[in-house]
Copies of this chain bind each other. A is one copy, B any other.
Amino acid sequence: MASEQSENYLKNIYKLSSGEGKVTTSSLSDKLQISPASVSEMIKKLAEEGTLTHTPYKGVELTEEGKKLALRIIRKHRLWEMFLVEVLHFRWDEIDDEAERFEHIMSDKMEEKIDHALGHPLTDPHGDPIPTKDGELKCPMSHPMSDVRAGSTVRVVRVSDSNSEMLQYVASIGIALNKEIHVKQKMSFDNSMLVKIDNNEVNISSTIASNIFVENV
C-alpha cells in the first residue's frame, strides 16, 4: 500500500492533470505547498513504484495503476465529505480539511459502510462526482477554471454557489451553464484571466475563476 503522502501526491496529480494534461513539478509544488526540490524527489520515488511516468524537466503523467489509486482516494474523500454534511451536519466550508486527513486512513470496510449509509450517492456536497469502487468515473470530472491553461477552450458545467453577489456578476458577463469559454491569457501578477465569451473579451479574477467549474471541449 502506498504511503499517506504518496496518496496525496497521486490525488493532486490527478486533479491537476484533468486541467493541464501533463503536470509539472512547480504546479504540484504550488498546490501541495512543498518545495520544488522535495516534489522532484517524491516524483522520482513514485516513478520507481510505477504509479506515474516521469520525463525529467518535462512533467509527469499517471499510469493506469496511479489513476486507479488516485480515484480511490478521491472516492474516499468525497464519500466522507458527503457523510460529514448529511450525517454530522457540518457546514460546506468546514468539511474539506476534515476529509483531507481522513481519506488516507479510511479502511475499505468503512468506505462500504458509509457508501451504504448514504444510499450510494453519485456526487459529493459540492456536486463533484464520486468515482466507483473500481476507480471509474462515470460523468467527466470538472475542474476550476483557474486550473485551465491559456489557449484552451472549455465548457461551463457548474458555478459554485457560495456567494450570491458573485453569482449575479458572473451571469452579467455572460457566463452560464454549457457556455463555451476560450482562455486567451493568464496574468502572472494576479492570476486573473483574459477570456472570450460570445466574442466579448473579459478579465476574470482568480477568485471568480476558481469558482467556475469547467470541462475540456
Are B89 and A113 in touch, CB under 8 angstroms? yes
Are A113 and B101 in touch, CB under 8 angstroms? no
* CB contact under 8 A between A98 and B117, given known A87-B87, A105-B105: no
Contacting residues of chain A (121-178) with chain B, CB-CB under 8 angstroms: none
Sorting the interface of chain A by its residue count into under 10, 10 to 19, 20 to 34 or 35 or more gives 10 to 19
> In the complex, what distance in Å separates the CA atom of A94 from the CA atom of B102?
18
A217 CB contacts on chain B under 8 angstroms: none
Kindly provide the distance from the CB of A103 to the nearest chain B CB, expressed in whole angstroms.
10
Kindly provide the distance from the CB of A88 to the nearest chain B CB, expressed in whole angstroms.
4
A92 CB contacts on chain B under 8 angstroms: none
> In the complex, what distance in Å separates the CA atom of A110 from the CA atom of B84?
9
Q: Which 8 A-B pairs have the closest CB atoms?
A: A101-B105, A88-B113, A88-B117, A98-B110, A98-B107, A105-B105, A102-B105, A87-B87
